[in-house]
Chains A and B, each alone.
Chain A
Amino acid sequence: MDPHIFLIQLLNGVQYGLLLFLVASGLTLIFGIMGVINLAHGSFYMLGAYLAWSLTAQLGNFWLALLSGFVLSVVLGMLLEWLFIRHLYRRDHLQQVLLTYGLILIFSELRSIVWGDDVHSVAVPALLAGSIPLTETLAYPVYRIWLSIICVVLAAGMYYLIQHTRLGMMIRAGASNREMTQSLGIDIGLLYRLVFAFGIALAAFAGMLAAPVSSVYPGMGNQVLIICFVVVVIGGIGSVKGAMAAALLIGLVDTFGKVVEFEIGGFRVLPELAGMSVFVMMAIVLLWRPEGLFGARLR
């Protein structure tokens, strides 16, 4: 591979990894920190994309749509937590899976009723619509670069919030010992409602941001769900840092897995098998560190 192309592929890998972090960040909060298995994470991603599409059409402005979509999804998240999720904290994971799987079906049907089953797309906002030429045949879309920057800012913000603020301290305390935190006079119910709502809003936000580079279509949520869990599991439950490292690792493995042909012990590994590369990597990481890259030692 010539060095020029190698560098561009490196950029692709990092950019894809950052995008994965964005998509998985909400799950890191809800699954990683609250310990709730939210299978409907992908549904909120899809909901966000559809919100971006319909709000952009109605408000005529992508940025306004982004803002109002975010607010809407926080409200939706709080409502859902109050209605369903809060009853599940003390129950086992299987019941959480059952409930959130039900939510997938409900949201997919609601989407079909409200928005239909068509494929849509959201125009890239004019400010970021261009492409930067890299070689004589290839250019890089500005929006993707901007998206990467947003991801980095978001990651830094989350890390700061959880590790270095009072709110973050309360969240971490609640995650490690719910009863004790409550007995110290912290309203754990409200705290968890906020965290859940924020996690949901992050998933929807990711969907909204991804809408202009992706397309908006019915199955998009289910597609990101698995890779999000892979990110959180490889990174280590409860670690924002880990999720970031895992997302970048997956981005690079997936990108180079798709284009590089190599040999291991006489077996030719073909790019066609790229679909497996991420999962092979997950297996290796979990064999080496069962708690994930940055996870706490298993309780």
Chain B
Amino acid sequence: MTQAVQNAQSRRDFLAGVGALAGISLLPLAGCARSDKVRVGFMLPYTGTYAQLGVAIENGFRLALAEQGGTLGGREVEYFKVDDESNPAKATDNANKIITRDKVDVVVGTVHSGVAMGMIKVARETGTLALIPNAGVNAATGDLCAPNVFRTSFSNWQPTHPLGKVMIDNGHRKAVFITWKYSAGEQALQSFAEGYKAAGGTVIKELFVPFPNVEFQALLTEIAALKPDAVACFFAGGGAVKFVKDYAAAGLKNNIPLYGSGFLTEGVLDAQGDSAEGVITTLHYADSLDNPRNKAFRAAYREAYGMEADVYAVQGYDTGLLLAQALEKAGGDISNRDAIIAAMEGAVIDSPRGRWTMSKAHNPIQDFYLRRVENGDNKVIGVAWKGLEDPARGCNM
């Protein structure tokens, strides 16, 4: 963000504060100030643990728009931002800030699932178009699905589901699943178990670590005692680094192959080092994905921001592509909601991750790649599942 934009933003914050102090009579003025620009709001984490994910998503989004000449359906774009801090307690307030105060036409957010739930609630009440560029909570395109809510990333159900089939193909019929005891971990386990059972495997034991505890030694001993054919897991971030390192240090890696959702080895391979070599994961993207679209995207991203793109940048980029495509079809008329929603539902996104389409519940129907860590890189060794669609349980749309 340039200094000028930042200044404008703090000025706006200031004015909004003054407006609030001066009383309710000033509020309608804010409504009059609407221009014919498309108002896009980012509700993303810009501070805290997920700050880099927020930045990558915004960068990707802006890159997509820059490639369209910086406009959406021929109209100029005005950006608004709110730092959601990945704090679920402030989610509703922050969503209200950007939706009600800034009166954005479309809100792009967010990373943290709990915060996304708060944002969806506000979006459902106000009918504002909401695009989710990361948060995987199943309910967003399940129980809580709504015509104006779309997701461009994945549902928690998706990344672990293809693992089961892959493990059976590799001859592992008895598996242990290990994860944190929290909702994303449980959702990952459930979808893994479904896929694994359907392919003919048996989950002989489910092991849980209290979230966000990272003391694994007792459970690693348990795994050694159970002697499964393979272990599947769901961890991310600091926990993923520690689990993979501990798993290797306990000597288990050479005897019992380790599988996981792709987030196990996303952005943490440097920290995991040799201990991650040979770990097999499934995800809807890999940095090394060998197609011209991905190479062009990565080069453009490097050129624009001076750093390497990751899966979060791709998700932000695709969010930009989706919005651009929909506004193009609606002739740049953001107020024509029906046309825009219809365009998004029918969208075909030519993404760096490969072509994907929107499911009825507004979640990507996309390929999941099979990746193996080789020389510190998530190398794509095949497609684990072509066109995987989330079952969208509880969605009546």
Contacts and interface: CB of A to CB of B under 8 A. Distances in A.
Contacts of A254: 215, 218
A144 B245 CA distance: 13
Contacts of A120: 270-271
A117 B111 CA distance: 15
A140 B83 CA distance: 44
Interface string B177-216: 0000100000000000000000000000001111111110
A223 B250 contact: no
Contact of A138 (B213, B214, B220, B238): B220
Nearest to B215: A16
Interface in A1-56: 1-2, 5, 8-9, 12-13, 15-16
B214 A141 contact: no
Contacts of B237: 119, 217
Interface string A165-201: 0000000000000000000000000000000000000
Contacts of B48: 117, 218
Contact of A119 (B213, B238, B252): B238
A258 B218 contact: yes
Contact of B241 (A141, A215, A258, A274): A215
Contact of B251 (A13, A118, A133, A144): A133
A126 B347 CA distance: 54
Contact of B218 (A119, A131, A255): A255
A215 B255 contact: no
Contacts of B87: none
A135 to B, nearest CB: 6
B256 interface: yes
Contacts of A274: 208-210
Given A15-B217, A214-B214, A218-B49, A272 B208 contact: yes
A12 B48 CA distance: 33
Contacts of B240: 119
B70 to A, nearest CB: 29
B222 interface: yes
A258 B178 CA distance: 12
B271 to A, nearest CB: 4
Given A16-B215, A117-B49, A117-B51, A137 B252 contact: yes
B249 interface: yes
A13 to B, nearest CB: 7
A152 interface: no
B250 A141 contact: yes
- Classify the secondary structure of A's interface with B: mixed
Nearest to A140: B250
Interface string A128-169: 000101011111110110000000000000000000000000
B231 to A, nearest CB: 11
Contacts of A5: 221-222, 224-225
A59 to B, nearest CB: 19
Contacts of A16: 215, 217-218
A136 B181 CA distance: 29
A118 B308 CA distance: 14
B360 interface: no
B241 A217 contact: yes
A136 B218 contact: no
Contacts of A2: 225
B251 A138 contact: yes
Interface centre among B48, B181, B250, B267 (most CB of A within 10 A): B250
A12 B212 contact: no
Interface of B: 47-49, 51-52, 181, 207-215, 217-222, 224-225, 227, 237-238, 240-242, 245-246, 249-252, 255-256, 267-268, 270-273
Interface of A: 1-2, 5, 8-9, 12-13, 15-16, 112, 116-121, 123, 131, 133, 135-141, 143-144, 213-220, 223, 254-256, 258-259, 271-272, 274-275
11 contacts: A5-B222, A5-B225, A118-B52, A119-B241, A119-B267, A131-B250, A214-B242, A217-B237, A259-B222, A272-B208, A274-B210
